[in-house]
Amino acid sequence: MILHTVSRSPFNSFALKDCVKQLSDNDLLLLLNDAVSAVSATTEQHSHLLQLDQSKRLFVLDVDLQARGLKANMGQVVSYAEFVALTIRCQSQLAW
């Protein structure tokens, strides 16, 4: 199981688009920094994110949502401590 982290906005980077193409069935996705905008607006990857949300594999860092004044429409909002727990749970991490 891999924890994929995306930090760049889907509106000015292909990182999220490239990442969702590479996800395996048991991989997790954590959105942080500007990538959190993907869960508060409709993006090209919306259907992929919904599937991840339904399978409880989509996570969003709470402080980054708060810093941008955004609200998550999908995904599990996590703290830094929960982010650490996700990294421990996964065999490796891949940053996009």
What digits encode the pLDDT tens for the residues 13-45? Answer: 999 999 999 999 999 999 999 999 999 877 778
Per the structure, the count of domains in the chain is 1
pTM for this one? 0.92
Average pLDDT in the chain: 94
Residue type, 67: A
Query: Which residue bears the tokens 């969003």?
Result: 60
**Dihedral sign, Cα of residue 36, residue 46, residue 40, residue 60:** negative
- 3-class SS at 69? coil
pLDDT of 9: 94
Query: Looking at residue 27, which CATH number applies to its domain?
Result: 3.40.1260.10
DSSP secondary structure of 10-49: TTT-SHHHHHHHH--TT-EEEE-GGGGGGGTS--TTHHHH
Mean pLDDT within 54-62: 97
pLDDT of 41: 77
Q: Which domain holds residue 12?
A: 2-95
pLDDT of 19: 96
pLDDT of 77: 98
Q: For residue 11, which of 35, 47, 39, 40 has the smallest C-alpha distance?
A: 35
